Every structure is written in structure tokens, then in C-alpha cells.
Amino acid sequence: MDAKIRELTPRMWGQSPTRCIERINVYLRGWSSYFRICTEENVHRLHVWDAHIRRRLRAILVRQKKRPRHLFRHLQERGASVRGAAHSAYCRRGVWYRSNSVGMTVAYRNAWFHERLVSLESTWESLNPRPKLASGQTLLFDP
């Protein structure tokens, strides 16, 4: 899974982020349908993969704004504070560090990705609904 995500989200993505998200969605839909039978203990790993994919996409967005001042303006237009946008844009650290900085996470919140990107965790929860119990009942065994 990790190698395929790296392949689908290369560092030097030259097309629009929407196109990259479309490619990832195709893969994630197929992957989640094939591996939908997993235990609840492994659902945390799906959450970690979702976060990793979002961070890789944020890194692509940072890389596409080649100059720091362009990234600064873009983050401000998307609602980041001046201080957060400045830290994200003018920080001397690499793209990976800046992809998880305050300015990027405010400008591209998880809700923004939730509208566009397939979530492995929510897909698993929709494919494996929990049994509904009446009030006062307890589940004695795992179905």
C-alpha cells in the first residue's frame, strides 16, 4: 500500500491536484472493496493511511507553488493567518515539514479533503456497519 501511494503521489506532480486526487480515489475504492474484511483493531491503521495520503497531497501543493511568496499569498487567500502562512511559506525546512505546518493544515483542512478524497476509514465503516442494539442490551460475542 505504501509503495503504491508513493507512486500515485510523486514529489514532482506536474498536473492539477484534482487529477492526482482522482487517480488516488480510483485506487482507494478498489483497495477498500478488496480488503474490506479486516478487524476493528486494524481500523486505526486505515486512519493513519488517510492522514499520510492527505499529507502527501499537501506536500504536492507546497511543491507546486514554487516560490515562497506565491505559497504565502495562496495560503492567505485560502484563510490561513498571516503568521501561519508566513511560517509555512518562508520556513527553511523541506516540503515534507511544511506540508504539516499550521498554515497548510488551516488552508487545506481535513474537511476539504473529505469532500474530494475517498477515506479508507469511513469506507470501511460504511461497508462494515456495527450491529444496532436496543437500549439495555449488550453484545455477548463478535458477529
| Nearest partner of 76 among 110, 109, 114, 104, judged by Cα | 104
> What DSSP letter does each residue of 86-117 carry, written as one string?
HHHHH-SS-HHHHTTSHHHHHHT-HHHHHHHS
Residues in Cβ contact with 72 at an 8 Å cutoff, skipping those fewer than 6 apart: 85, 86, 88, 89, 90
Is 143 inside a domain boundary? no
Grid coordinates of 63: 511543491
pLDDT of residue 23: 94
pLDDT of residue 139: 64
Q: Please tell me the pTM assigned to this model.
A: 0.85
Is 139 inside a domain boundary? no
Is 138 inside a domain boundary? no
Is 137 inside a domain boundary? no
Q: Is the pLDDT of residue 108 over 70?
A: yes
pLDDT class of 138 with cuts at 50, 70, 90: low
In a 13 Å sphere around the CA of 66, the CA atoms on its Cβ side amount to: 3
Choose between 136 and 4: higher pLDDT: 4
Is 140 inside a domain boundary? no
Is 109 inside a domain boundary? yes
Q: Which residue range forms the structural domain that includes residue 89?
A: 2-127
If one counts the domains in the chain, the total is: 1
> What stretches of 6-59 adopt beta strand conformation (E)?
none
pLDDT of residue 88: 95
pLDDT class of 142 with cuts at 50, 70, 90: low
Is 118 inside a domain boundary? yes
Q: Is the pLDDT of residue 140 over 80?
A: no
pLDDT tens readout for residues 7-58: 998 888 889 989 999 999 999 998 888 877 777 777 888 899 999 999 999 9
Is 45 inside a domain boundary? yes
